[in-house]
A and B are shown apart, each in its own frame.
Chain A
Amino acid sequence: MNEIIQIVLFIAALIALTPILGRFMAKVFMNERHLLKLVLGWLERLIYRLCGIDSSEETNWKVYLSGLFVFNFIGFLVVFLLQMLQAYLPLNPEHLPNAAWHLSFNTAVSFMTNTNWQSYAGETTFGYLVQMLGLTVQNFVSAATGIAVLVALMRGLTRKTTENLGNFWVDLTRSVVYVLLPLAIIFSVILVGQGVVQTFSPYTHVTTLQKTQQVIPLGPAASQIAIKQLGTNGGGFFNANSAHPFENPTPFSNFLEMLTILLIPAALTFTYGRFAGSNRQGWTVFIVMFILFAAGLGLSLYSEYGHNAVLHVAGNMEGKETRFGVANSVLWSVATTDASNGSVNAMHDSLSPLSGMVAIFNLMLGEVIFGGVGAGLYGMVVFIILTVFIAGLMVGRTPEYLGKKVEAFEVKMAILAILVPSLVIKLFSAWACTSSYGLAGLNNAGPHGLSEILYAFSSAAGNNGSAFAGLSANTVFYNITLGLGMLIGRFGVIIPVMAIAGNMASKKITPVSSGTFRTDNWLFVLLLIGVILIVGGLTFFPALALGPIMEHFLMNSGITF
């Protein structure tokens, strides 16, 4: 009962906050008057002046995109070099050595692409400077990059006969200054109040009751955790991520950290509705995401609470923190894999097969169920375009979305955006399955091993960053392939999406009539869910059948490996 109340409370809070934050973000990106502009407007203007940005200038999609490339490449370089050189740099009280080149590559890509896959253990690998100047900065700007792409797409879908999609630098600045920074500051303060550490002191060495020496890692954690949750980043300060008591000490901090995973992605659906000039359009997308979220949650809960034929328990506690329990761990696992966040408060490797499958499937769908900040919604728009094209023909008109005709170019780009990440998952997983260096990373035999490999590449391609912990991924093979997977998974979607935005912006808007294929009703909700599940399902069903589904059947007949 307590569990049900907590889940209901979580959902209620999410639904309540969506329009509030969503409306605010709409004001920010439509450049309307809002309260924070009075408070922080000087900071925005200062950034423009320092960087020489003309905030009134708007560009076409290619210029917008090349700004994004330049910015992300610089970000990558900074993080890469910070890791390679940390031994020579300050704020490294534990004197941690320079990182290996392949780990540095993997980590730099990982944080630049909003993935936050961690092949390393934070407390034993990176000093405070790398964590703060490298990783935390990317936590902000990679999230802001996702929002910027979405904002450009929203403009493309709703403007008519223009080339201009806005200014990348302005959108980037505004999402950091008005959205991410204020939310992160408030949230870190609350977290510190709950007992999350925030200090520059070196690690504490204590003698335990058994007279053994123990090292207790510390650091500026709260500030990184706030943005890691809000920006759907997920990279933990400590290796155990939000299962660690210094990252996530209390049930209340747990509740807030879960809520902040979905907060911005959910609110952006409302912003989307504001841009489209119809709140219904936004809520339709929200409902689709919510239904898929609820279905995954339901299946996971069923699977975790059901009778486990091997452990002979109902309510599988393996790999979960006792202070959170089953329900809160499952809720987190579904939320974090839906939202491309990747932070964890329980070990996904220990989830029962079906809830593990839900997590993998969430990743495989390309992180569109709420998804990464910005990224989730622009990924969803790709599915929307596909749905509109397939089903829209059935009303006897060239399919259109928000009055814009969906034609060959859009279909081509949408297919690319779906094809490219699944290419990464399939091909790299196949490579790992057939190579000794791929199989060497496995800690588990049987179908679960296949699940671990699939999870890793799905996590990379979906820019999620969480892991089935069974895989030892800090090897040259995995660091490089996963790094490439993250890059392709990120930009293989961003490029087609920006192309769609640019092409759509140049089109006329057909006025709505009763001959229009409606995209804001229950029929469309049903269709969109159908297309997501069928396209996603058809692509990955064979692999999932041999992995988690097989494991589920084997477990039920009491066979383990």
Chain B
Amino acid sequence: MTTRHKQASLFSKKIFVQAFKDSFVKMNPALLVKNPVIFIVAIGAVMTTIIVFGDIFTKHFSSFNLQISVWLWFTVLFANFSEAIAEGRGKAQAESLRKSRTQTKARRLINGKEEEVLAPDLKKGDTVVCESGNVIPADGEVIEGIASVDESAITGESAPVIRESGGDRSAVTGGTKVISDRIVIRITSEQGNTFLDRMIALVEGAKRQKTPNEIALTILLSGLTIIFLLVVVTLPTFFGYSLTASGMPQSQNLTLPVLIALLVCLIPTTIGGLLSAIGISGMDRLLQKNVIATSGKAIEAAGDVDVLLLDKTGTITLGNRMATDFVPAEGVSKEELANAAQLSSLADETPEGRSVVVLAKELFNMRGKEIHPSDTVFIPFTAQTRMSGVDIKESGGNVRSIRKGATESIKKYIQNNDGFFPKKVEEIVSDLARQGATPLVVAENNRVLGVIHLKDIVKGGIKHRFAQLRQMGIRTVMVTGDNPLTAAAIAAEAGVDDFLAEAKPEDKLYRIRQEQANGHLVGMIGDGTNDAPALAQADVGLAMNTGTQAAREAGNMVDLDSNPTKLIEVVETGKQLLMTRGALTTFSIANDVAKYFAIIPAIATSLYATAHAAGPMSALNIMKLATPQSAILSAVIFNALIIIALIPLALKGVKYRPISANRVLALNILIYGFGGLVVPFIGIKLIDMLLVVLHII
């Protein structure tokens, strides 16, 4: 039913062109300085460029210096490009949502009079009227009336939903369309502060706040950068000492471009360049799942969540109970019971009622054809009788009064008809209740025919899902209003780790606090107003879009699909985001080993050289790179190209697998740690060979 937003293809032409332009705009030092690692590269690029111009003026032009300078600029551009393309994709996603809203006109109510204003001019607290055909101008709450609303613009769900004043279905979202009736809406969000606006701000570079984990990682990367700066700054002194010791002039000391090249190769440019792209694309992936996060922090917290509070209904079980069996009373055939049950349910449009009809059809191929409407009176369910059923006039003038309902009400009905309630049936009833089922007793006139076994149907595949969560170290807690007996039975069937039975809204809040006090991070889903405190207390509060405005404000994410299982996907997205960061950091640091083996022998090979042989350091040139210059250039080129090569990975995230932390780690270490050691050896060697073939060096 749900159609996802069309995923912007990784390199759609428009995004690509815009990102290309943006990578130059992002050269602005004020923007660059936010990313210390890339900022250092930019400074290096400027310095080498100045040196190249100096070379030209002093007529000592060095093509090596020029190439170093060019590749340093490319390194900065590539890093900018990765961020720009992630932004572009996120914006494209959000833009299509925003477009629907900007042109909207609103009918504002002032003292009972309507006036037409543009949607962006609305203020919080204004009331507006929407009738069929109107687009709802901004997020708000229905204060009067009931209407069906088409929310497909943001949810992709084509079936209209009901929105009415009061209760849990009062929230409406800007950009959705009223298709029937008339409602009055109070605007609840300031313009520029709706969910969509907040989402877009999260994606856009200028307003984006670094998340706590990004800050920590930036500190690590800056620290490593300072350490390597220290290495490079002190190197000429040790080199100068060695020159003297090997009887060479100080004029042979390392040149500035070589030192800058070494520095840029050592500092973690790969992760530094891709860091913001990873963060943005995490939000983008969430948006593709139709979840709007109100902060990047919330996505990270989702990765940390280790307890999930899940409502039973809708999340673990299908929304409704289903008939799964007919248990006849003594002396009654199963078929007779099924027949009576089916007849009593023909007009029962509740899902339970329909399931009885379906079951009868499945078991005995019964159909309700033989009934003539003129002879039949359907008795609807009322709160007083707590029964429903049918009275059928038969040809002999007899009336068959068939009733189904809760045990107590049928008992009363039978007694009123001078019948008796068999002990055996009572046993069946209590037996079923123990199994977590809901028994529905069927009676005809003064005779009890048997019991319909109504059962909560656990969603297909959910048990497997919970098993995966358990492997990932996440505990699931089922929240239900059922009695403990029923709850336990369903919990066992669904494979949840724990349950909260006969739960009142404040129990949820209490449970979350309790888990948090024990050091857990809790995620939950909620929709009703009385969920709001719990949503606010939870570390990740996913509010359903169909929920009340209060719930949506309290949570830190909104699920546009209002699909309760979405919480699990949100957790996975959070984990994937953190994994991608860790993997690329590991890769980036591991890369340095190979770069050292390229550059150190290259710069030191002349030291202590004897007349007939290269210096002893050439023994460390294990890649057998052609010349010192080709070696340095290859390392710099590899360093730039690896950023471009890893953009797709940064945007898509590393492959996510629902397995235990230990196995994930072992796998990622193998791929990104070991891979990070080996790949650059191969890459640098290949580039070196190419440089030689092309006679660039």
Q: Is A422 a contact partner of B242 (Cβ separation < 8 A)? A: no
A431 to B608 CA separation, bound complex (whole angstroms): 22
Cβ-defined contact, B582 with A390, below 8 A: yes
Residues of B within 8 A of A550 (CB): 242, 604, 607-608, 616-617
A419 adjacent to B226 (CB under 8 Å): yes
**Stretch with Cβ within 8 A of B (4 or more), from A109-117, A201-209, A516-524:** A516-524
Bound complex: CA A407 to CA B241 (Å): 41
Chain B residues with CB below 8 A from A415, complex form: 219-220, 222-224
A394 beta carbon closer than 8 Å to chain B? yes
- Asked whether B230 lies within 8 Å of A554 as measured between CB atoms, the reply is no
A411 within 8 A of B: yes
Chain A's closest residue to B573 (CB) is A396
Partner of A543 from B238, B471, B578 at Cβ < 8 Å: B238
A397 touches B619 (CB 8 A): no
Interface presence of B620 (CB below 8 A): yes
Residues of A within 8 A of B471 (CB): 514
Residue contact B519 to A511, C-beta cutoff 8 Å: yes
- What is the interface of chain B mostly: helix, strand, loop, or mixed? helix
Q: Which stretch, B96-104, B503-511, B668-676, touches the partner chain A?
A: B668-676
* Cα–Cα, bound, A359→B586 (Å): 28
Q: Could you say which residues of chain A place their CB within 8 Å of the CB of B266? A: 538
Q: Does B122 contact A (CB under 8 A)?
A: no
A559 within 8 A of B: yes
A422 to B224 alpha-carbon distance, docked (Å): 12
> How near does chain A come to B572, taking the closest CB pair, in angstroms?
8
In the complex, which residues of chain B have a beta carbon less than 8 angstroms from the beta carbon of A427? 230, 234
By CB atoms of chain A within 10 A, which of B224, B518, B519, B620 has the most? B519
Assuming the contacts A538-B596, A542-B600, asked whether A394 and B473 have C-beta atoms less than 8 A apart, the reply is no
**Is A42 engaged at the interface, CB distance under 8 Å to the other chain?**
no
A-side contacts of B581, CB under 8 Å: 393
Query: At the interface, yes or no: A530 with Cβ under 8 Å from chain B?
Result: yes
CB distance from B674 to the nearest CB of A (A): 10
With A516-B473, A538-B596, A546-B238 known to touch, is A393 a contact of B582 (CB < 8 Å)? Answer: yes
Least CB distance, B601 to chain A, in whole angstroms: 8
A517 touches B665 (CB 8 A): yes
Contacts of A433 on B, CB cut-off 8 Å?
237-238, 240-241
Give the shortest distance, in Å, between A426 (CB) and chain B (any CB).
Answer: 4
Measured in the bound complex, the distance between the Cα atoms of B517 and A508 in whole Å is 8
Q: How far is the CA of A396 from the CA of B581 in the complex (A)?
A: 9
Find out whether the CB atom of B473 lies under 8 angstroms from the CB atom of A514: yes
Q: Is the CB of B616 within 8 A of A553?
A: yes
Shortest Cβ distance from A404 into B: residue = B519
Selected contact of B669 from candidates A394, A416, A516, A553, CB within 8 Å: A394
Q: Kindly state the separation between the CA atoms of A411 and B213 in the bound complex, as whole angstroms.
A: 10
Q: Interface code A39-67, partner B: CB below 8 Å = 1, 0 otherwise?
A: 00000000000000000000000000000
- Cβ B579 vs Cβ A515 within 8 A: no
CB of A282, distance to nearest CB on chain B (Å)? 20
* Contact string against A for B residues 628-653, beta-carbon threshold 8 Å, 1 for contact and 0 otherwise: 00000000000000000000000000
Q: Write the A396-419 contact mask toward B (1 if CB under 8 angstroms, else 0).
A: 111000010011101110011011
Instruction: Give Cα A516 to B663, complex, Å.
Output: 11
Is the pair A429, B234 in contact by a Cβ cutoff of 8 Å?
yes
- Contact residues in A for B473 (Cβ distance below 8 Å): 513-516
Name the CB-closest residue of B to A555.
B616
How far, in whole Å, are A408 and B620 apart by their CA atoms in the complex? 38
* A398 and B300 form a contact (CB under 8 A): yes
Interface residues on B, range: 35 or more
Give the chain A neighbours of B215 by CB distance below 8 A.
Answer: 408
Q: Are B227 and A422 in contact (CB under 8 A)?
A: yes
Is the beta-carbon distance between A553 and B619 smaller than 8 angstroms?
yes
CB distance A391 to B590 under 8 Å?
A: no
Contacts of B235 in A (CB 8 A): 542-543
Q: Is the CB of A398 within 8 A of B519?
A: no
Docked-complex contact A515 and B607, CB < 8 angstroms: no
| B residues in contact with A547, CB < 8 Å | 238
Q: Digitize B36-57: 1 where CB-to-A-CB distance is under 8 Å, 0 elsewhere.
A: 0000000000000000000000
Q: Which residues of B contact A434 (CB under 8 A)?
A: 237, 240-241
**Contact call B579/A527, Cβ cutoff below 8 A:** no
A21 within 8 A of B: no
Interface membership of B346, Cβ < 8 A: no
Chain A proximity of B666: nearest CB distance (Å): 6
Q: In the bound complex, do residue B664 and residue A411 qualify as a contact, i.e. CB atoms below 8 Å apart?
A: no
A389 within 8 A of partner (CB) = yes
Contact A510 B234 (CB under 8 A): no
- A313 interfacial contact with B, CB 8 Å: no
Set A160, A445, A513: member contacting B306, Cβ < 8 A = A513
Give residues of chain A (502-561) contacting chain B, Cβ–Cβ below 8 Å.
508-511, 513-518, 521, 523, 526-527, 530, 534-535, 537-539, 541-543, 545-547, 549-550, 553-554, 556-557, 559, 561
The residue from B220, B574, B579 contacting A390, defined by CB atoms under 8 A apart:
B220
Q: Does A35 contact B (CB under 8 A)?
A: no
**Is A407 a contact of B212 with CB atoms below 8 Å?**
yes
Residues of A within 8 A of B435 (CB): none
Point out the residues of chain B lying under 8 angstroms from A406, CB to CB.
Answer: 216
Residues 506-531 of B, flagged 1 when their CB comes within 8 A of A and 0 if not, give: 00000000000011110000000000
| B163 in contact (CB, < 8 A) | no
Stretch in A76-84, A446-454, A480-488 with 4+ CB within 8 Å of B = A446-454
Q: Name the distance in Å between B211's Cβ and chain A's nearest Cβ.
A: 10
Among the interface residues A415, A446, A546, A561, which one has the most CB atoms of the partner chain B within 10 A? A546
The one of B233, B472, B578 that contacts A398, using a Cβ cutoff of 8 Å:
B578
Indicate if the CB atoms of B669 and A447 lie closer than 8 Å.
no
Decide if A36 is an interface residue (CB 8 Å cutoff).
no
Q: How far is the CB of A205 from chain B (nearest CB, A)?
A: 44
Contact A545 B617 (CB under 8 A): yes
Interchain CA distance A282-B644 in the complex, whole Å: 43
Contact B245 A396 (CB under 8 A): no
Complexed CA–CA distance, A523 and B586 (Å): 15
B37 to chain A, nearest CB (A): 14
Residues of B within 8 A of A429 (CB): 234, 237-238
Complex-state Cα separation, A410 to B212, whole angstroms: 12
Does chain A have a CB within 8 A of B558?
A: no
In the assembled complex, the Cα of A537 lies from the Cα of B596 at a distance in Å of 10
Min CB distance, B621 to chain A, in Å?
12
Report if A423 contacts B (CB, 8 A): yes
Contact present for B230 and A534 (CB under 8 Å): no
Q: Which residues of B contact A508 (CB under 8 A)?
A: 519
Asked if B474 is an interface residue, CB under 8 A from chain A, the answer is yes
Residue contact B519 to A430, C-beta cutoff 8 Å: no
For residue A431, give the distance in angstroms from its CB to the closest CB of chain B: 8
**CB pair B245 A449 closer than 8 Å:** yes
For B219, B521, B660, B672, which residue has the most chain A Cβ atoms within 10 angstroms? B219
Nearest CB of chain A from residue B538's CB, rounded to whole Å? 16
The 5 closest A-B pairs by CB, nearest first: A515-B473, A393-B582, A396-B575, A415-B223, A553-B616
Residues of chain A touching chain B, judged by Cβ–Cβ distance below 8 Å, are 160, 386, 389-398, 403, 406-408, 410-412, 415-416, 418-419, 422-423, 426-427, 429-431, 433-434, 439, 445-447, 449-450, 508-511, 513-518, 521, 523, 526-527, 530, 534-535, 537-539, 541-543, 545-547, 549-550, 553-554, 556-557, 559, 561
Which residues of B approach A to under 8 Å, CB–CB?
212-213, 215-217, 219-220, 222-224, 226-228, 230-231, 233-235, 237-242, 245-246, 266, 300, 303-304, 306, 470-475, 518-521, 574-576, 578-579, 581-583, 585-586, 589-590, 592-593, 596, 600, 604, 607-608, 610, 616-617, 619-620, 656, 660-662, 664-666, 668-669, 672-673
A-B contacts, 24 listed (Cβ < 8 Å): A389-B216, A390-B220, A391-B673, A395-B662, A397-B578, A407-B216, A408-B212, A411-B220, A423-B230, A430-B233, A433-B240, A434-B237, A450-B241, A511-B519, A513-B475, A514-B662, A515-B661, A523-B662, A523-B669, A534-B589, A534-B590, A537-B593, A538-B266, A561-B245
**Known interface pairs A393-B585, A534-B590; 16 further A-B residue pairs with C-beta atoms within 8 A, sorted by A's residue number:** A390-B582, A391-B582, A394-B583, A396-B579, A396-B661, A415-B219, A415-B222, A429-B237, A433-B238, A434-B241, A510-B521, A517-B665, A538-B592, A538-B593, A541-B596, A542-B235
